[in-house]
Amino acid sequence: MRVKIVDLTLRDGHQSLLATRMRTRDMLPILETFDNAGIYCLEVWGGATFDSAHRFLNENPWERLKKIRETVKNTQISMLLRGQNIVGYRHYSDDVVEKFVEKTAEYGLDIFRIFDALNDVRNLLTAIKTAKRCGAHVQGTICYTISPVHTIERYVEIAREFAELEVDSICVKDMAGLLSPKVSYELVKALKKEIGLPIDVHSHYTSGMASMALLKGVEAGAEMVDTCMSPLSMGTSHPPTESIAYALNEMGYNTGVDLDILIEVRNYFMKIREKYSGYINPISTIPDTSVLVYQIPGGMFSNLIAQLKEQNALDRLSEVLKEVPRVREDLGYVPLVTPTSQIVGVQAVLNVLTGERYKVVPKETKDLVRGMYGRTPAPIREEIIRLILGDERPIECRPADLIEPEFEKRRRELEELGIDANDENVLIYALFPQTGLKFLQGEIQEEAFPSSVASVEGKFEVEVDGSKYKVDVRPI
């Protein structure tokens, strides 16, 4: 049986361990070698890379994709797309989603891995249909989490919705490292029996179980597994590519991977890890088994610590850790992945620091309860809706149905500013009106390499009802 290796080093690897700061110039020298290693697919784009490239590195994310595609000729390349959120942090209009997917396909991207934080497939319709129309491989992605409503039967229902949209494969995306070997086997087995599409298992190493989850998934019939080259693996990242490939080959599964070439690739990324060491938070490099108790992704956990430090309230961490699952239950058991992880985390901190639950409610929490992010996995209780929204009622339609077309409007705004309004620039501006405009106006400078991780934590100050709070909203 062939088991395909999907290597995430150039996207999720450095997003997990290096604050998404790897420069394109440090990717290009190894790509030709990497391209000859027999890897099925390299994930190279999407997630937080589009944001980080233009915001912190003064890089055009479209140029990164172009250069990678020009160099990688044998291996498929993929991206992570947040459905109607694309690569940003809110829902965008359908015309922006369509133009983004079309333009990305033009640049030669092979596989679109498309997910929604709430597993609301309605939020994926436009992206999936557009990518299919462009002839790309579409991987319908299920965000895995644990709650009373997140059963294997429910995950099979979501996969069935994907199958009806004619996706090409299914990805089980375990962003917090909660996927146990037992559940991995049972879930993949059920998906193969009921749906039959190729399955890809994606599991962060946060709890220390990811390698076992991948292997048990393969035993149950998964055709693909996600890994990262060893220098950027484990901790809050993924199992090592080399180790998983070796183990699978020894077990009789054909990965097609040349381990000798991978050793050369590993040696290169060892130098990259050393170069970027100032970005590495030691907490992110080792398994954090508390995730099995609190079900909080590693990146979110470090964010909570950063928030409490800013308020000189680190001694209240245990209270916040207990509050997170309460808030998550209140908000319909949302999976803890960007952007819902930030919404739940910030609300939990505010509930603890203000001394009264939902006394201070940011706009993002209100929008989640309004239904502006989509349908929550479980219905939000009426008393919580009244507490947060008062007499206002949540919407029941697909959120994007309420968003007017905005692509041409953004194009006209760029033209009025005297900026080249080509499709790529318009998309940068449409997705990130503030930082994107600064980038297009040449006002962004590449940040210096830090001496320690403390200097790169992305803190933002928000003001709610007259009170100011500093929060870290680093994507997960």
Instruction: List pLDDT tens digits, range 238-278.
Output: 999 999 999 999 999 999 999 999 999 999 999 999 999 99
pLDDT for 424: 98
**CATH code of domain 4-279:** 3.20.20.70
> What value, to the nearest 5°, has the Cα angle with vertex 393 and ends 349 and 367?
35
pLDDT for 296: 74
Residue 281 reports pLDDT greater than 70: yes
Q: What is the mean pLDDT of residues 55-70?
A: 98
Dmax (CA) for the chain in angstroms is 64
The per-residue DSSP string of 91-137 comes to ---HHHHHHHHHHHHHTT--EEEE--TT--GGGGHHHHHHHHHTT-E
Please report, as a single letter, which amino acid is at residue 465: D
Percent of the chain with pLDDT over 70: 94
What is the DSSP code (8-state) at residue 367? Answer: H
Residue 139 reports pLDDT greater than 70: yes
Contact assessment for residue 227 and residue 8, using Cβ atoms and an 8 Å cutoff:
yes
Least confident of 106-110, 194-198, 282-286, 361-365: 282-286
Residue 47 reports pLDDT greater than 60: yes
Strand, helix or coil at 154? helix
282-286, 317-321, 457-461: range with highest mean pLDDT: 317-321
Least confident of 38-42, 150-154, 295-299, 340-344: 295-299
Q: What is the dihedral of CA 411, 413, 417, 420, to 10 degrees?
A: 0
What is the DSSP code (8-state) at residue 282? Answer: G
Where do you find CATH 3.20.20.70 in the chain?
4-279
pLDDT for 1: 87
pLDDT for 466: 41
Model pTM score = 0.92
pLDDT for 471: 41
Query: What confidence tier does 111 reach under pLDDT thresholds 50, 70, 90?
Result: very high
Taking the C-alpha atoms of residue 383 and residue 331, their distance in angstroms, rounded to an integer, is 11
- Calculate the alpha carbon distances from 136 to 67, 132, 332 in Å: 19, 6, 33
pLDDT for 288: 80
Q: Pull the structure tokens for residue 55.
A: 């915001």
pLDDT for 302: 67
Q: What is the mean pLDDT of residues 206-219?
A: 97
